[in-house]
Structure 1
Amino acid sequence: MKNYHSIKNIKFVEKSLLITIDGKDYKFPLKLISDKLSNAKPEQLNNYKISPSGYGIHWPLLDEDISIDGLLKLKQKKVIYENLL
């Protein structure tokens, strides 16, 4: 099985996802990731499963999945947008 990413230290603080991907720390506002995650209760957010390959994260109580590559692209778009301002 191909390993995509190393995912560690998932935390939810002040409506944001804090996560370490491939040794680098990121912060993503939940409202930019998913309406389901943004509106979820703490017990729903903290019930997640990281795929064995590091491809993504699944929240069974919310029936929500996100890919790590999608998160990284979201971060790249946000940086580009902020640099244009």
Structure 2
Amino acid sequence: MSDDSLTQTQDEPIDDPREQTASGTDEYDLPIDLYAGAIILIMGALVLVTPLFTDMPSDAPWRPTSMNLISGTIYVLVGLVLLRRAERF
């Protein structure tokens, strides 16, 4: 017995847009290093200027201003490294 049904057709290739490489002028790919670097750099700048505009608690067991300066500097350095990797800075 042979099964010659009308629904059997040859498989046609399906173009999957996920497999296509980005080519052409109508597409724009934002590098993740650029995006992350910009966000982290802005965060670092905000952490660094926070002690200028707010009253830091004086009863803390550590110096909050120093902690802001240290963590803000780390944020800025990481942001600059990411921007450097994105070849934008």
- TM value normalised by structure 1: 0.30
Rg: which structure is higher? 2
Structure 2 length normalisation: TM-score? 0.29
Question: Whose relative contact order is higher, 1 or 2, with alpha carbons under 8 Å and at least 6 apart?
Answer: 2
